[in-house]
Amino acid sequence: MTDRIPRIGRRDSSAALLREGYTFGAHRFLETGSDAFETRLMLRPAVIAYGTEAARLLYETDRMTRRRALPPTTLTLLQDFRSVELLDEQPHRHRKAMFLSLMTPAAVAELADLVEGEWRAGIDRWAGSRDVVLFDAVREVLCRAVCAWAGVPLHPDDVAIRTRQFAAMVEGAGSVGPRNLRGQVLRHRAERWAGEVVERVRAGELRVDEGRAARVVAEHRDEHGRLLDAETARVELLNVLRPTVAISRYVVFAALALLQHPVARSRVAEDDEYLRWFVQEVRRSAPFFPMVGGRVREEFDWRGRHFARGSWFLLDIYATNHDSRIWDEPAAFLPERFAGWDGGPYDFVPQGGGEFDAGHRCAGEWLTITLVERAVRLLTTAMAYDVPLQDLSVDLSRMPAAPASGVRLSGVRPAA
Ligand code: HEM
């Protein structure tokens, strides 16, 4: 590694990033022999880096803000301008505590049970079809389950519509053009719907149990004791529902790993510890969030470069999850690597790093791990299926990536 940050070319790299996807950073880290390089994205200077040190820079509490750190076309499909992610210091901590209050072990277990119930009901439906695309089917299972868990009414006729809306936001986030535009249109409709839910809870027309997300968000008061304004409340309700449906992406990567690693498949079915390692390895190896960015709040020097206030810094998550300084044989799928793993808060960052409460680490990480574990158990113990010939390749130039076919299953039946 060099101890300066090389600058690559003079041209803007936005088109190359969109063209190369997850491998954009890796190509340049290799070319420059450095774990950080400087370029221009959207005509603005940006430093892109990977590894533990880079993760620490981004996630050390209060060093960087998320304001102006993501392209608006991405931000408006994911967390959005009014979200917890764009807050700093005390207002951030206060709002983040609201999200974390939803993630008690009992609440997470309840959602996992709801997912299991929907999944088992799904098996009966899928058994009647010639084949089923797992990605679509799991999105729907998660959509039904998370709405019930959150106290959000979901009429059976609306399940497909809402599932499509949540999926379109995530699908559109890593692109510009028609895919992004479709995401924006469907996002707009989902916001209207979520806004009505919040309004009805506030007006007392919709009764939701205490502690459920729809009520917690609708009644949340900021650090000055004020209710969230209507737009913020609907955005934050969506920030619980959408990413939970997005866990389907890890589930299809887990299903793919089960197909590719039959020995692991037999172990996850009965060994709880191995199941945990397996799911961690899926989260490490799967291309999901390619990068996450911040703007410097407190200036510092790193690798011979001064980072003034407002400097743009991006952590390459995919490269960090494949960093040979952290992981032996990073390209291999080895669940055992997590045996006795005592990684620190900046080593393993598929859902961000650092602290949960004071930093920007994902509020839904425990939930994600639990739901993927439950899904893997269901795939290996609750159902049998065949896997017809199909294109299971993963195109790393597409963000977000997934197996091309979405993992098509045929002959689905309850396990004997
Ligand atoms: C589906 C898998 C998921 C992935 C890959 C993922 C990824 C991430 C990442 C990388 C961040 C950090 C962003 C940053 O540093 O600015 C983040 C933040 C966040 N995630 Fe997730 N997430 C997932 C699931 C969830 C779930 C299930 C929820 C809630 C139910 C959730 C809610 C949040 C929230 C509220 C934040 C903002 C935290 C903050 O700024 O303090 N995510 N997520």
pLDDT bracket for residue 386 (50, 70, 90): very high
Neighbour count for residue 346 (Cβ, 10 Å): 22
pLDDT at 337: 97
How far, in Å, is the centroid of ligand 1 from the Cα of 43? 27
Residue having the nearest C-alpha atom to atom 15 of ligand 1? 360
Residue having the nearest C-alpha atom to atom 6 of ligand 1? 351
Closest by CA to 173, choosing from 404, 401, 361, is 401
C-alpha 343/C-alpha 325 separation (Å) is 13
Residue having the nearest C-alpha atom to atom 21 of ligand 1? 362
pLDDT, average across residues 212-238: 98
pLDDT at 109: 98
Atom of ligand 1 nearest to the CA of 85: 40
Atom of ligand 1 nearest to the CA of 241: 30
How far, in Å, is the centroid of ligand 1 from the Cα of 286? 16
Residue having the nearest C-alpha atom to atom 43 of ligand 1? 362
Atom of ligand 1 nearest to the CA of 368: 27
Second CATH level (architecture) for the domain 7-414: Orthogonal Bundle (1.10)
pLDDT at 1: 53
Tell whether the torsion through CA atoms of 203, 208, 210 and 212 is positive or negative: negative
Neighbour count for residue 192 (Cβ, 10 Å): 10
Atom of ligand 1 nearest to the CA of 236: 35
Exposure class string for 315-337: b at 16+ Cβ within 10 A, else e: bbbbbbbbbeebbeebeebbbeb
Nearest 5 degrees, angle CA 49-CA 51-CA 55? 80
Q: What share of the chain in percent tops pLDDT 70? A: 99
Q: Please give the sequence-ordered ranges of beta strands (E in DSSP) within 96-232, or none if there are none.
A: 131-133
What's the whole-number average pLDDT of the chain?
Answer: 96
C-alpha 333/C-alpha 261 separation (Å) is 9
* Domain-wise residue ranges, the chain: 7-414
pLDDT bracket for residue 416 (50, 70, 90): confident
Cβ-based neighbours of 398, under 8 Å, separated by 6 or more:
21, 174
Q: Is the pLDDT of residue 272 over 70?
A: yes
Question: Which of 351, 370, 374 is the best mutation target for the ligand 1 pocket, counting ligand atoms within 8 Å of the beta carbon and taking the most?
Answer: 351
- DSSP-derived 3-state class of residue 171: helix
Q: Please write the tens of the pLDDT for every residue from 339-356.
A: 989 889 999 999 999 999
Ligand 1 pocket list (CB less than 6 A): 66, 79, 84-85, 96, 99, 239-240, 243-244, 246-247, 288-289, 292, 350-352, 360, 362-364, 367-368
The tokens for 205 are: 């027309």
pLDDT, average across residues 384-407: 98
How far, in Å, is the centroid of ligand 1 from the Cα of 91? 18
pLDDT at 2: 52
pLDDT, average across residues 271-287: 98
Q: Please write the tens of the pLDDT for every residue from 155-202.
A: 999 999 999 999 999 999 999 999 999 999 999 999 999 999 999 999
DSSP 16-85: HHHHHTTHHHHHHHHHHTSSEEEEEETTEEEEEE-SHHHHHHHHSTTSEE-TT-S-HHHHTTTT-TTSGG
Q: Is the pLDDT of residue 3 over 80?
A: no
How far, in Å, is the centroid of ligand 1 from the Cα of 79? 8
How far, in Å, is the centroid of ligand 1 from the Cα of 11? 32
pLDDT, average across residues 136-154: 98
Atom of ligand 1 nearest to the CA of 244: 27
